[in-house]
Amino acid sequence: MFKYILKRLGISVLILLGVSFLLYALLRCMPTDFVDSKILQFQQSTPEGVTEEFKQLMYKTYGLDGNIIEGYNDWLSNFCLLDFGKSFVNQRDVLSEIFSADKLGTSFMIAAIATIFEFLIAIPLGITAATHQYSVRDYVVTILVLIGISLPSFFFGQMLKNIFAIELGWFPPAGMSDESRTYVGFAKFMDYARHMFLPVLTVVILFIGGRMRMTRTNMLEVMNSDYIRTARAKGLSEGKVIYKHAFRNTLIPVVTGLAGLIPSLFSGAMITEEVFDLSGIGQYALDSMMQGDIPVIMTYNMFLAFLSVMGVLLADLMYAVVDPRVKLA
């Protein structure tokens, strides 16, 4: 086990190096960058225009004067020294910007709460759809799956916002708290919960479909196995057959979802945060991408890449726990 983990960690380092180079190269190949935008602003505000020497000085100041290889080597050297740089936009430390409580904390809370409800709702519904195939329950679950898969997040989020926030006024339309009032204790918690309800509901409904479909499909495959018929022939109750024998053998696809679950908790729901005007990490990353803020984008995406690699490793280790037949070597 220990040798397997060391081998996987070594492979993970190579993967992260490859991801970082591709990401940096793509950012440098964008049609316009942060310096181009700043120079355009100076040209619009300065009647005499901007000299070529000033342009070169701007590129050198932001570390974009060399080619892609030179720029990547500089970034990698600083990254190995745990120097993640400063944001091009506000010259603040990148780590303090990304890992601030109001950005990362907001996105994490939305994703964590939505993930809990997603599992609590999707897995039981997927099981009941599989055990009652072609029944009303199965058709209802199928409809929910189609809704979750088909609806774009910006459309569904805006629809919920128009109905429940603007038309009915049951929930606040935007923000994370009511700035006009000061709440303390339980009242503050309830105000936060009211603001988070619609974003969480949007994420849950949009992502619940895939989880239900996966659970239903795997349960149907397992329910037709010989050992399930043997368990029923032994006189075991239907509950034990389903939850002790059948469901346990569908856990491997669920464990596979851990690989994408961990980075999704910290990546932020960009479009949902944009619709509900939440200052989460997703919206911040989107704004940084639009502005060409390379230090922020690199640090943010490398953090997600690291979580993805660790998620895959954790999922592989969990396979041996779920299925004793899996041997890690």
Q: Where are the domains of the chain?
A: 2-98, 101-322
Question: Do 93 and 86 meet the contact criterion of CB atoms below 8 Å apart?
Answer: yes
What value, to the nearest 5°, has the Cα angle with vertex 268 and ends 148 and 27?
A: 110
pLDDT confidence bin for 150, thresholds 50/70/90: confident
Confidence (pTM) = 0.75
In this predicted structure, what is the pLDDT of residue 278?
78
In this predicted structure, what is the pLDDT of residue 47?
64
In this predicted structure, what is the pLDDT of residue 220?
80
- In terms of pLDDT, which residue wins out, 182 or 241? 241
Maximum alpha-carbon separation in the chain: 91
Mean pLDDT, the chain, whole residue set = 79
Supply φ then ψ for residue 93, to 5 degrees: -60, 135
Residue 48 has pLDDT above 70, yes or no: no
- CATH homologous superfamily of 101-322: MetI-like (1.10.3720.10)
Write down the H helix ranges in the chain.
Answer: 2-28, 34-45, 52-61, 68-80, 94-98, 106-131, 136-150, 153-160, 186-223, 226-233, 238-240, 251-256, 258-267, 270-275, 281-291, 294-322
Q: What is the pLDDT of residues 190-206, one digit of tens each?
A: 877 888 888 888 888 87
Q: What is the pLDDT of residues 160-175, one digit of tens each?
A: 888 888 888 888 887 7
Residue 179 has pLDDT above 70, yes or no: no
Distance CA 188, CA 167 (A): 24
In this predicted structure, what is the pLDDT of residue 324?
61
- Give me 39's structure tokens: 């120079």
pLDDT confidence bin for 287, thresholds 50/70/90: confident
Averaged over 104-128, what is the pLDDT?
82
CA dist list (Å): 274 to 35, 159, 208, 250, 287: 26, 14, 21, 36, 10
Q: What is the pLDDT of residues 219-242, one digit of tens each?
A: 888 777 777 778 778 877 777 778
